[in-house]
Structure 1
Amino acid sequence: MSHSADFTEVGASQSRPSQVRWYILHVLWSLGWLIWLSVGVVSFGHALG
């Protein structure tokens, strides 16, 4: 959890555009993780099925 705390401190110490950029990167990372997870679940289901 210290990793996300570091991100929060960096965002607080920088300007507004940097905060927006970090937010967008975080959203994109979350979407990518969800896509990877769903693909893994589908592949696992096909392997079982």
Structure 2
Amino acid sequence: SCEISNPLGKDTCEALFRVKTPPKCQREPDEQRVPLGETLKVKIPINGK
């Protein structure tokens, strides 16, 4: 699924992606700690086609 947001609000949608090359992270994510049962969202820049 996709989620877009800006200061005026947010929206979500479902989409089908055709992956032509394996994705590659541009950097490693920072270490995170989250309480048990909580949700963690991480934004990581990736490259791929």
One fold, TM greater than 0.5? no
Pick the TM interval, shorter chain: under 0.3
The structure with the largest alpha-carbon Rg is: 1
TM-score (norm 2): 0.19
More strand as a share of residues: 2
